[in-house]
Structure 1
Amino acid sequence: MTCSVDKLRWSTSGIAEKERYDAWVAQLNQTFGAWHPERPDGREFGARVKASAMPGLSLVECLCDPCGASRSRLDAQSIDEEQLTIQLVLSGREYMQLGDQEAILTKGDVFVWDNTQTMRFSVIEPLHKMSLILPLSRLKNWVPNGWRELPRHLKSGEPSAAMLGSYLRSLSEIDFEKNPMRYNALTEAAIALLVAPMAKCQNENSQRLAQLETVKSKIEPMLRDPDLDLEMIAARNRISLRYLHWLFEASETTPWRYVVQQRLEGCKRDLQNAEHANRSVTDIAFSWGFSNSAHFGRKIKAAYGVSPSDLRRAALEPIAH
């Protein structure tokens, strides 16, 4: 017996520009449940969705420009069906907050979320992601008591992210109409890959690394503030300065070196982005929290071996043949 596969192909192309975002919100709600949108800052918006719905699971591929939305506690309490979503980032950057957990997602990262909790997301850079949607009950069958403690942010390069990412990519390449499968087995395989790396007891070191990632995710939206200092970071995380330094010892750096490196990475992206070609180097440096252009130039050269202008020129000038 062959089970049907419902396919969806949707895009903002062909929709009037002023109506695109509202159309996207409607599609978002239809695909992932109720969300309350945050309006983008006036820029042109575009999005595409490709989805395959099979018995017991759905595979959704999505591309969208920067945007954001949230789900309230009331939304979580009003759901018709508890669902689990395993999301793989193919490109771009996205901020995610699930309950009290926060993460900045980049290429190769996996984030696992469920619709029973409050949630907020913000697409920082144009995002391409793939999501596998499953019944949450299947996870509860495997981990009845500790499923909420499951690691949610699986970083690129970690074995669990590699396994799940490879599995989602493989599913996306299958034509299920021509190759029907035991969809129940596909769901069980996904859950097995998700829970396989879980240790029965989380040791002190893993707790320390998990807290360090939370601190880093809270630093991210503060990077552009020129008044940012370690006291602000400690206060934002409700920890002492001594404890902040101790957390960063696990990554063999200091909190302030981490801040400077993240700011430099942000400047590098802007300098190499053609959309920022008309901005001055100083403007870009100041927009990322640097207050002295000469100091910024020295930091860029120390980090990347070239001046800010040379870094931009190498990326934006056509390659001579």
Structure 2
Amino acid sequence: MTNIKPNIVLIGTGGTIAGRGDSSVNASAYDCSILPIEEILASVEAAADIANIGAEQLFQMGSENFDSEQLLTLGKRISTLLRREDVDGVVITHGTDTMEETAYFLHLTLDSDKPVVLVGSMRPPSALSSDGPLNLYNAIVVAASPQATGKGVLLVCNDEIHTARDVSKHSTFKLEAFSSPYGPLGVVVEGRALFYRAPLRPHTVSSEWSIDCIEALPEVGIVYAHGGIRPATIKAMCDSGVAAIVYAATGNGNVARQLIGSLRQARSKGIHVVRASRTGSGIVVRNGGQPDDDYDWLAAGDQVAHKARLLMMVALSTSAAGSAQHARSDTAALQRILQEY
């Protein structure tokens, strides 16, 4: 009996995986986003044994340049592809700088249980021991695996399979740059995707949002805590027109006393305030470091600041909670979202 191979669409967006250095020892200094997706795919001939692969170039840029426009364009294109009966999964090659953010946005907004996998590399294809080809091969393996169905958007790097909700980049150059606070969902070994757990928080088909219904994303800013931070930082963020401020606080969402007045004033203007932590892991407890109920603030739970930002952008995109006049119940709804997702 002939095995029927799944149909996978490969979308290129640029990044290190599409980069080129002047020499084979340029692993950190190189030109980003040079190679077209067809050339990247051609370097992984073994992938043709796994799936029927079509490729298209959507962007050609470093992911540090991604903004709401790219997120929406990419999400809507993937949504269109996933509705096709002749598409079984999607793989996106992506710069590693903001790959976890794009993955989480898609995790929240794609209304499909088909596998979607993001992949990048820490070394360009021109470098000695580039990780790009194997990462891409492994990503295609995962996208073609029936076990990946229903697990939301995944990120594959360094032989590990991560859920988009948890994964973050933690190194500027190491191949093991990505990790999750609760560990990976699984690994890829010798061309086999091995899963050991599944994400339990709502995503994709169980999410409250659909990319097809989102036409614009509100601005949400992040203020990073540091010793001696001044209220002028909060004022500047408010003046920029944000709908919410995520404060990447010290410790358990602690707020320096000189900022409390400015953040309360921001909330009085209709700008939501979310306490997160700059530590990178752990839980910011509501009414822990600050009296959130009294100030009508929000707590990010265990989510890192840059992902709490994306969750707020998605939540406010279809909610009146970002308007100048709002009820306290909007804060309750947003706190539930931060708690559940």
- Same fold per superposition (TM over 0.5): no
- The structure in which a higher percent of residues are helix is 1
Bigger Rg, which one: 1
TM-score in terms of structure 1 length? 0.31
Greater strand share, structure number: 1
Normalization by structure 2: what TM-score?
0.30
